[in-house]
Amino acid sequence: MRIERIELIHIKMELVSPFVTSMGIEYDEEHIIVRVDGDSFTGWGESVAEGTPFYSYETVQTAWHILSDFLIPAILGKEINSVDEAIPKWSKVRGHMMAKAGLEAALWDALAKAKGISLSKMLGGVREKIDVGVSIGIQSSINELLKKVDRYLKEGYKRIKIKIAPGNDLQLVKALRKEYPDILLQVDANSAYTLDDIKIFKEMDDYNLLLIEQPLGYEDIYDHSKLQRELKTPICLDESIHSLDDTRAAIELDSCRIINIKPGRVGGFTESKLIHDYCASKNIPVWHGGMLESGIGRAGNVAFASLSNFTLPGDISASKRYYKDDIVEPEFVVNKDGTMEVPTKPGIGVEVNMAMLKKVTVRKEIFNR
């Protein structure tokens, strides 16, 4: 497949309700949609760099720069017949995982379409449905939180994740456990604590949490090993893991016992698969994280979460949990039993709704060979 044309589309989508975390409050989500036109097939990907550098140093602007000045020129006009042929062309670019992952995802989609197979199949997926959970931001009161959890459990979600921050932690876990002693429950701190807060986590250890996600520094592996040593509850790393090497270090140091895989955070599905396979070989469960993606990125997440070692429900929720209208058809829905169907049509398996995409477009740029 010769790469004829690449388009970057900066989107901004309004969330159905503000998402509050230890990193701040988000009212809308900005990402970059990457469209790759080969000589006969079109692929779509989503770069999950956000408008702000609060979760990651990458932003829409840095990803746009890296994509337009380095990654796109590396493949435009070239003959690319597998993702493995593309990656070495841009691998001298260090970091900027989200920029790379968006372009890689669009190539995966186009190449799967060229083969006439689903992205799930192309990536080595083994499931027709995946188990899904929901990530709930910090609410204005415990009562609000209980109401949201009740609603999501009724919708079928198999696992609840709540965001925590200093001053908004133990009391939330206690209130939820009182009401729901047996649900799969986990917390995500987004790096808001230090080892000085060890007491809080030791107390949390009594509430049978599935895991504690990224309690300490966003690049840290060492301090997490000190915390994990003191806890029964598995620590799960998100922010600290950008590669297979980070994963290996974290597991060898016993810094975590579960890994959150987000293809955007590690540079794409190729690196994600190395991490997935390594974790499987070490009996480390993985689950699929989320970045409030539109349906384009979500489709990739759903396909990737169909691999065999995704044994815990992911942060992959229905389109409507995030946005009033998604930019793909059909939208993603959650079944009453807390599962989501893995698309079976070629590539990402959903159609881009061009009218909706246009409505959320902030700017775009076309690169011709």
Rule CB under 6 A: say whether 46 interacts with ligand OSB: no
* Count of H-run helices and E-run strands, the chain: 15, 15
- Shortest reach from residue 264's CB to Mg ion, in Å: 12
What end-to-end distance do the CA atoms of the chain give, in Å? 14
Q: Exactly one of 129, 262, 320, 336 is catalytic; which is it?
A: 262
Q: Give Cα separations from 243 to 151, 198, 209 (angstroms).
A: 36, 27, 26
CB-based contact 5:37 (threshold 8 Å): yes
Stretch that binds ligand OSB, among 4-12, 79-87, 147-155, 290-298 (CB under 6 A): 290-298
- Shortest reach from residue 132's CB to ligand OSB, in Å: 9
Specify the DSSP class assigned to residue 112.
Answer: H
Rule CB under 6 A: say whether 49 interacts with ligand OSB: no
Based on CB atoms, which residue is closest to ligand OSB, 26 or 104?
26
Look up residue 332 and give its amino acid.
F
With CB under 6 A as the contact rule, the residue among 188, 220, 246, 271 that binds ligand OSB is 188
Query: Is position 262 annotated as part of the catalytic site?
Result: yes
Rule CB under 6 A: say whether 315 interacts with ligand OSB: yes
How is residue 220 written in tokens? Answer: 């840290």
Q: 171 burial class (0-12, 13-18, 19+ CB within 10 angstroms)?
A: exposed
Query: Is position 178 annotated as part of the catalytic site?
Result: no
135 binds, among Mg ion, ligand OSB, none (CB under 5 to 8 A by kind): ligand OSB
Rule CB under 6 A: say whether 191 interacts with ligand OSB: no
Cβ-proximal residues to 241 (8 Å cutoff; 6+ apart), any chain? 247, 250, 259, 260, 265, 266, 275
- Other beta carbons within 10 angstroms of residue 367's beta carbon come to 17
**Binding residue count for Mg ion, defined by CB under 5 A:** 3
Rule CB under 6 A: say whether 58 interacts with ligand OSB: no
With CB under 5 A as the contact rule, the residue among 37, 238, 271, 293 that binds Mg ion is 238
CA distance 213 to 239: 9
Rule CB under 6 A: say whether 30 interacts with ligand OSB: no
Specify the DSSP class assigned to residue 46.
Answer: E
Q: Exactly one of 158, 161, 163, 273 is catalytic; which is it?
A: 163
Rule CB under 6 A: say whether 332 interacts with ligand OSB: no
Helices of type H across the chain: 60-66, 72-75, 83-90, 97-115, 119-123, 142-155, 170-179, 198-204, 222-229, 244-252, 263-266, 269-281, 295-304, 319-322, 354-360
With CB under 6 A as the contact rule, the residue among 72, 187, 291, 328 that binds ligand OSB is 291
With CB under 6 A as the contact rule, the residue among 101, 292, 357, 360 that binds ligand OSB is 292
315 binds, among Mg ion, ligand OSB, none (CB under 5 to 8 A by kind): ligand OSB
Cα 11 vs. chain centroid, distance in angstroms? 17
**Binding residue count for ligand OSB, defined by CB under 6 A:** 11
Percentages of the chain per state (helix, strand, coil), in multiples of 5: 40, 25, 35
Residue facing Mg ion at closest CB distance:
238
Stretch that binds ligand OSB, among 198-206, 219-227, 286-294, 344-352 (CB under 6 A): 286-294
Based on CB atoms, which residue is closest to ligand OSB, 37 or 238?
238
Site for ligand OSB in 115-154 (CB under 6 A): 135
55 binds, among Mg ion, ligand OSB, none (CB under 5 to 8 A by kind): ligand OSB
- Name the site residues for ligand OSB (rule: CB under 6 A): 55, 135, 188, 190, 238, 289-292, 315, 317
Q: Which residues of the chain form contacts with Mg ion (CB under 5 A)? A: 188, 213, 238
